[in-house]
Amino acid sequence: MSTTEAEIGRARRRKEDARLITGRTQWTDNIQLPGMLHVAFLRSPMAHARITRVDVSAAKSQPGVVAVFSGQDFGDEQGSLPCAWPVTEDIVIPDHPPMATSTVRYVGEAVACVIATDRYKAADALDAIEIDYEPLPAVLDMNEALAEGATPVHEGGNKSFTWKFGTGDADAAFRDAPVIIERTYVQQRLIPSAMEPRAVVAQSDGDSFIVHSATQIPHILRVMLAATTGIPEHKIRVIAPDVGGGFGSKLQVTAEEVLTLLIAKRLGRAVKWTESRSEGNLTVHHGRDQIQRISLAASADGVLRGVKVDLLADMGAYLMLVTPGIPLLGAFMYTGVYKMDAYDFTCTGVFTTKMPTDAYRGAGRPEATYAIERAMDELAHEIGVDPLEIRRRNWIKHEEFPYATAGGLTYDSGNYEAATDRAMALFGYDKLRAEQADRRDRNDPVQLGIGVSTYTEMCGLAPSRVLGSLRYAAGGWEHATIRMLPTGKVEVVTGTSPHGQGHETAWSQIVADSLGVPFEDVAVIHGDTASSPRGMDTYGSRSLVVGGIAVLQACEKVKENAKQVAAHLLECAPEDLEFTDGAFRVRGTEAAKTIQEIALATFAAHDLPEGFEPQLDAGSTFDPEAFSFPHGTHLCAIEVDTETGESKIRSYVAVDDIGNVINPLIVEGQVHGGIAQGIAQALYEEAVYDADGNLLTTTMADYLIPSAADLPDFTTARTVTPATSNPLGVKGVGEAGTIASTPAVVNALVDALSPYGIRDVAMPCTPERVWRAIQGGTS
């Protein structure tokens, strides 16, 4: 019986925060190297144009300038930026040069660069570069892009792919259905806004290269840099120092990473690039941007028979690393938490002359959840029942798990009833409904709306065979190594690459419990392909449910190794030993050896079992058999001033079920941050282009991100149904808040406006849009 407090489940303060919040750490832009140069990129002011002339001669004579290059100067050397997810056999994947050579296809595309002794001189010299363009029509609207006679973004046309998926007989489910709901929702384009802008430092090291990058994916980046540039992989070392947020925006192989490496190779000097915030808004890949046509077929009492989805997804001008796969991650989730007989899904990827889209927190799952949860509210309205009641009539009951869904997945565990009951109690649901009725009776100018979102998501993006069946270029395994040091301390080498999630703390808690060592005695090594050579990095809420399990399994292997030494030292058979509180004990006796004692004895190697190698270290690669499926219920109460259109969230309750919890403090942070981003999509954020394809929201003054002062207090709680797909019983949490919150907020706002006959307001639901909807204008 253990006499020490378990680390798993303990609300530990994050051990990495001491250096992060004081700035005593290494960010990419902090790096200063001898003789380092700085690169600035000239970017296209045209959304679509042919490049007819480039003259860089004047820029070469500017103060501090060392070199100036255009796209033609790199030629074939720069290769084509990779797309690792060709979702269909006939997908159109255009060449994507990191620097444009003949045609530009979005505002902000790199067309030339200056390398100088400091970043300001490099930026100043950009003005001396002369480029002539022959304008071509911008292509901005997806429906127009697919119309006959549309201007082609690429020679192959404007359709990249059409991907279909279905189960059951959807036509039969809709045939003669008593109730059919058909709605169109628009997922506006979003701009990821990580705390730390992107930055790259590349340097030559003899015939090898070191690339520091603010990236989520150092291991993938290394492989792709080699594939793109032709530099052998073993000659490239990628380091992700402490990274200040990503949310998917740093799950990328960027033009700037490739070009900075090529410049360092050509000049034999260290080179740095750090983006400005305006530059980032233009050129960090964008998120969402979909048109969703969803149809529900139901019985007269609102029991679902089938769901159909027809999706247009804006790829932007090119396919980046996983661009075409993002909407397909949502394809399996439009069925949500609900039972039905049939499901039909079609997605068409469309090229436009805008910045490419790619992964943004949730990556396809928030979009799917929004559509089904909005549509379920519409179904409830159509048959005249409470939104929670329509969900109860349709969701998978806890005793029905594991459940094979119409979306083609098998949910292993869940209890939607428990999460919803808990949320309703914390929210005061019935009391708020009574207040709402009273306000409506009094025709109060400030109306109250109540929004519901019962969500689930697939996360732990991993099963390699499943990813292979979806034509994804890589696997989804994760690796970890446990190193026992002679003094009994422990080093964890992890393939996951944190950028704010708290891996160093959570992994230390897992190791402390597994090996019985103090939490403080564990160090976590990550983010460097030299010290952590194996990994698939961090995205898709996979770090804990894949990487954390690899850590646990490596610990088990260390204990198996240590057991052999312990049995030898204690002169007993290995099967006579039990491991508790960090020590191997001979059953029925007081004889014992701590794992620290065994580590020292192994290091000394004076008395080891015959043929035993003097090391306890072990590695493990975990490739799960299935995804994990967090779920929960989010409830939002919103007050809408019908005279001004202003809306204010009055209360927000989130009850999430993420299986067993490693660290409650980390979970709270992830949930709070996720909810904030979901609310931001509902009420604040939107990337806006003008008719010529110019991005109008290039600064924080134009692209509205809510601050803490704009957000309500969140009431959070958890229910626990452990995952059955991994030995820790954990599920993901990094994206849950973002997935659940947007439909909860918009459902609340529409509920507040329902007395006015309003059934939808386009996101972001700004005061102007709300006011115009009330006045009978367009939303």
pLDDT tens-digit readout, 639-684 = 999 999 999 999 999 999 999 999 999 999 999 999 999 999 999 9
As given in the structure block, the two tokens for residue 483 are: 């190193």
Q: Residue 402: is the preceding peptide bond cis (ω within 30°)? A: yes
Give the model's confidence band at 206: pLDDT under 50 very low, under 70 low, under 90 confident, else very high: confident
**How, if at all, do strands 271-274 and 103-104 pair?**
unpaired
Distance CA 432, CA 430 (A): 5
Whether 83 and 317 have beta carbons less than 8 Å apart is answered as: no
Cα angle, residue 126 at apex, residues 60 and 241 outer, rounded to 5°: 100
Question: Nearest 5°: phi and psi at 687?
Answer: -85, 125
Residue ranges of E strands in 388-477:
403-404, 410-411, 446-456
**SS3 assignment, position 708:** helix
Q: What is the per-residue burial (b if ≥16 Cβ within 10 Å, else e) of 25-50?
A: eebbbebeeeebbbbbbbbbebbbbe
Residue with tokens 């109250």: 448
Distance CA 777, CA 779 (A): 6
Q: Is residue 13's pLDDT more than 60?
A: yes
**DSSP character for 150?**
P
Specify the pLDDT at position 3. Answer: 56
Please give the single-letter amino acid code of residue 190: L
Task: Name residues whose C-beta falls within 8 Å of residue 331's C-beta, 6 or more positions apart in sequence.
Answer: 163, 165, 309, 345, 347, 364, 368, 407
Q: Is residue 778's pLDDT more than 70?
A: no
Q: Which residue has better confidence, 21 or 120? A: 120
Mean pLDDT over residues 353-370, rounded?
97
Distance CA 130, CA 125 (A): 11
Residue 650 backbone class (left: φ over 0; alpha: ψ -120 to 50; beta: rest): alpha
As given in the structure block, the two tokens for residue 392 are: 């109860």
Residue with tokens 């028979």: 305
Kindly tell me the sign of the dihedral angle through the C-alpha atoms of 427, 430, 432, 433.
positive
**% residues pLDDT > 70 (the chain):** 99
| Tens digit of each residue's pLDDT (9 = 90 or more) over 404-417 | 999 999 999 999 99
Mean pLDDT of the chain: 96
Residue with tokens 């207090």: 713
Please give the C-alpha separations between residue 525 and each of 247, 491, 696, in angstroms, as whole numbers: 22, 7, 41
Residue with tokens 């679902």: 304
Distance CA 332, CA 327 (A): 10
Residue 75 backbone class (left: φ over 0; alpha: ψ -120 to 50; beta: rest): left
First CA to last CA distance, the chain: 63
| Tens digit of each residue's pLDDT (9 = 90 or more) over 436-453 | 999 999 999 999 999 999
Whether 54 and 126 have beta carbons less than 8 Å apart is answered as: no
Distance CA 732, CA 723 (A): 10
Specify the pLDDT at position 777. Answer: 57
Cα angle, residue 284 at apex, residues 140 and 325 outer, rounded to 5°: 70
**pTM score:** 0.96
Residue 510 backbone class (left: φ over 0; alpha: ψ -120 to 50; beta: rest): alpha
Give the number of other CB atoms < 10 A from CB of residue 587: 10
**How, if at all, do strands 37-43 and 271-274 pair?**
parallel
As given in the structure block, the two tokens for residue 573 are: 């058979």
